Amino acid sequence: MYPPTRGGVRTAVFGAAGRFELPGETTFRPLLATAWALAGLSLAMFFAAVYSYQSLRGDFELIQRSRDFDGLRYQLFSLLKDAETGQRGFLLTHDPQYLAPYEAALAGIPVLLDRLSWAETSPDKERLAIEMRAALTAKLDEVEHVLKLDAASPESAMSHLRTGRGKRLMDRLRTIFEQMETLQADTMARLYARNARDARLTMGFMGTGVLLVILACVLVYLSQRREARIRQRLLVRAEDYAEELAEVNNSLTRANDELKIFAYVASHDLQEPLRSISGYVQLLLRRYEAQLDEKAVGYIGKSVAATRRMQELIDGLLLYTRIGTRELSPEFVSLNEVLAEVMANLAASAEKSNAVVAVEELPEVLGDRVQLRQLFQNLISNAIKFRSEASPEIRVSAVPDGSSGPETVQVRVQDNGIGIDPQFADRVFKVFQRLHARQDYPGTGIGLAICKRIVERHGGELWLESEPGRGSSFIFTLTPYSEQALKEAS
């Protein structure tokens, strides 16, 4: 009952521990990575937006300058026309009042020309401006020239006017003016188009940038929510595991407590009826032997033998259970001392069978003294019991063991007895399993099961090497004594 229960529970523990490796805990978070990428992209968008906004501002400046250019052109032309009209009026009337527009033009035109040079925005305009400046200067010079001639002789002024030079100069100016107008219209159209494009780009970049930022924020939010959920799930799962573990622990404690109760009940309640049977049967013999025949006496003898055997079985089972349930008290144990105690216990039976027990130098180990004594007692009494024709020769030795880790010793109890067929090697360690008839070799079949349990409780292994007819060796591992091993054990 006990071992399968424990096995089942242990599986559950391992199952829980196996699932402790949680898959949700990833270091790479795809949502967050995407959010970072989007944030980077949106930054680029904002730079692009800034760039196109600057371009847009450049456009506005150009448009402004173009407009100025246009305005200046009109002002220049109207000043000039005023000047020419004034000149004409003066020539006809010689009233100095008419010269006022001319003088205003003389004063205003250079200022306007200065401003015009700032408003030039293209090589074409620059060229036209130069032409216009030249034509203007020529025209003003012409007007001045006519006025000088007139001051000397109105006749000569008239005749100069008649040559048509003034008109030609004016026509030329008009042509330039018209060319400027065409150019201005083109420029404005081009600037407006570029302006619109830059505005669209700026808005586009800005909009996309904002959109990307929003998207990144959403992704960050989603990522965090996802992580929070995973964390929550992990937390819940961890709590589940803790609960599960506590439950397993509880059921283990309960099982252990029940086993202790069982052991106690077995020792007390199970033996009471047995003692009654044995007692009354023997009392029957004691009080009424004279009235019984030989057969009846024989039956009573068999009943008594059966109750004794039952008692042995119960005792063996009890011992086996106690070894599994009782707390170990690990301490410093000298195996040579233990062997001396065991040999003293077995002195009678060893002498009876002429057994020779050779004990080599044995190590000092960490273990429960009572259980280790039981272990050696069982192994050596087995070696004496399962003897061959020859008188028993038993040898107890120990070597440091490398196979089960550096911290163990290997102890060997070797005999020259009947040996054990390897196919039964596992069976001999099981409770109440026997290889021989009880008449040949008495016993309950629990001794080796107890040995195995003792060694396993000490964290070691017990196994068997044997050649039928030539003897067996029982080998087991134990922990050598050290302060550190003691500290770890307690």
Partner 1 sequence: MPIHVLMAEDNADDAELTHEALVDSKLAISLHHVTDGVEALAFLRKQPPYEKAQTPDLVLLDLNMPRKDGREVLRELRGDPALRHLPVVILTTSGADEDVEAAYELSANCYIQKPVDFEQFIHVVQAIEHFWFTVVKLPHGHPERA
Summarize as ranges the residues that interact with partner 1 (CB under 8 A): 263-264, 267-268, 271-272, 274-276, 278-283, 286, 304, 307-308, 311
Least CB distance to partner 1 at residue 363 (A): 28
Q: By C-beta, is 99 or 304 nearer to partner 1?
A: 304
Q: By C-beta, is 93 or 276 nearer to partner 1?
A: 276
Least CB distance to partner 1 at residue 432 (A): 19
Least CB distance to partner 1 at residue 263 (A): 8
Least CB distance to partner 1 at residue 489 (A): 21
- Report the interhelical angle of 369-385 vs 294-325 (nearest 10°): 140
Q: By C-beta, is 106 or 310 nearer to partner 1?
A: 310
Least CB distance to partner 1 at residue 266 (A): 10
C-alpha to C-alpha distance for 54 and 485, rounded to whole angstroms: 79
Q: By C-beta, is 311 or 336 nearer to partner 1?
A: 311
Least CB distance to partner 1 at residue 304 (A): 7
Least CB distance to partner 1 at residue 404 (A): 31
**CA contacts within 13 A on the Cβ side of 250:** 6
CB 142 within 8 A of CB 166: yes
Q: By C-beta, is 14 or 299 nearer to partner 1?
A: 299
459: Cβ contacts below 8 Å, ≥ 6 apart: 479
Which DSSP string corresponds to 17-76?
HHTTS-SS--S--HHHHHHHHHHHHHHHHHHHHHHHHHHHHHHHHHHHHHHHHHHHHHHH
CB 319 within 8 A of CB 263: no
C-alpha to C-alpha distance for 152 and 144, rounded to whole angstroms: 13
CB 473 within 8 A of CB 412: yes
Q: By C-beta, is 188 or 274 nearer to partner 1?
A: 274
Across 305-341, b (16+ Cβ under 10 Å) vs e yields eebeeeeeebebbbbbbbbbbeebebeebebeebbee
Q: By C-beta, is 63 or 284 nearer to partner 1?
A: 284
